[in-house]
């Protein structure tokens, strides 16, 4: 096929691209809503932190805010990719979001994480901070994030055929592959849940002072055991 014809086909595909039908005809919307409910709390907490910066150090506040926003952006992009059946790039975007959030933890603990070039070194530095090493709940949540990161690396490096997208034409999108969609959305849920809890542990007073509607929205997705643990830390 001549290039001009191929481009005309691509342009037609892009201008006619629709998600509504695939979104409504499958169980995708139900899974999407459930997963986003676990991610929404991060948006609430980020807004509260942005409105009332937690530290006196302006540079520290700015760096933390930038990387937290980028982490959120990456996670939300993984949602959009999931709705279109772009599962491999969805996992890659989620991995980037997780990595950016780990930098946030390091920045909050005054670690020079922005100079690190190895993600594994970043993980080790953050693991040894007082916040992670001395808080049982924070340590458990960080271990969860680290395990998810290791899993996501399989998609980045295409370590076996199970991680391959094997897509040669854009015309297959949008698509819905139930097992693949569920796998990505569940991973987004696990990562987002861990991030929400870590943010609460980092900023318990920010969480406590949220508007009651926002506070309730977050509490609605938190396990009772974690809520009890946070109440003890704040009190």
User: d(Cα 115, Cα 80) in Å, to the nearest integer?
Assistant: 31
Could you tell me the residue ranges of all domains in the chain?
20-152+187-234
**Residue 85, phi-psi category: left (phi > 0), alpha (psi -120 to 50), beta (remainder):** left
Per-residue model confidence as pLDDT tens digits over 151-190: 999 876 554 445 454 444 556 778 888 889 999 999 999 9
Closest CA to 94 of 197, 222, 192: 192
Per-residue model confidence as pLDDT tens digits over 96-144: 999 999 999 999 999 999 999 999 999 999 999 999 999 999 999 999 9
* Helix axis angle, 87-108 to 58-84, nearest 10°: 160
DSSP 16: T
**Helices and strands (DSSP H and E) totals, the chain:** 12, 0
Judged by DSSP in three states, 218 sits in helix
List Cα–Cα distances, 103 to 114, 143, 171, 212, in angstroms.
7, 15, 37, 29
**pTM for the full predicted model:** 0.89
User: d(Cα 38, Cα 81) in Å, to the nearest integer?
Assistant: 17
Per-residue model confidence as pLDDT tens digits over 3-37: 888 888 888 888 888 877 767 766 778 888 889 99
């Amino acid at each position: 096929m001549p290039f001009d014809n191929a481009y005309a086909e691509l342009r037609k595909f892009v201008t006619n691209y629709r998600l509504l039908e695939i979104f409504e005809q499958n169980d995708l919307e139900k899974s999407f809503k459930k997963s986003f409910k676990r991610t929404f709390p991060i948006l609430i907490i980020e807004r509260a932190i942005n409105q009332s910066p937690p530290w006196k150090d302006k540079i520290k506040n700015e760096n933390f805010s930038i990387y937290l926003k980028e982490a959120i952006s990456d996670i939300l992009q993984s949602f959009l990719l999931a709705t279109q059946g772009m599962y491999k790039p969805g996992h890659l975007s989620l991995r980037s979001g997780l990595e950016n959030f780990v930098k946030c933890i390091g920045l909050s603990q005054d670690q020079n994480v922005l100079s690190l070039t190895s993600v594994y070194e970043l993980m080790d530095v953050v693991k040894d901070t007082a916040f992670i090493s001395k808080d049982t709940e924070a340590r458990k949540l960080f271990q969860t994030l680290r395990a998810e990161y290791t899993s996501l690396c399989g998609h980045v490096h295409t370590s076996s055929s199970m991680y391959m997208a094997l897509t040669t034409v854009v015309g297959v999108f949008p698509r819905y592959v139930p097992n693949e969609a569920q796998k990505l959305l569940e991973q987004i849920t696990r990562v987002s849940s861990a991030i929400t809890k870590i943010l609460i542990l980092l900023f318990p007073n920010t969480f406590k002072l949220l508007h009651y509607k926002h506070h309730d929205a977050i509490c609605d997705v938190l396990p009772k055991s974690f809520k009890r643990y946070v109440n003890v830390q704040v009190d």
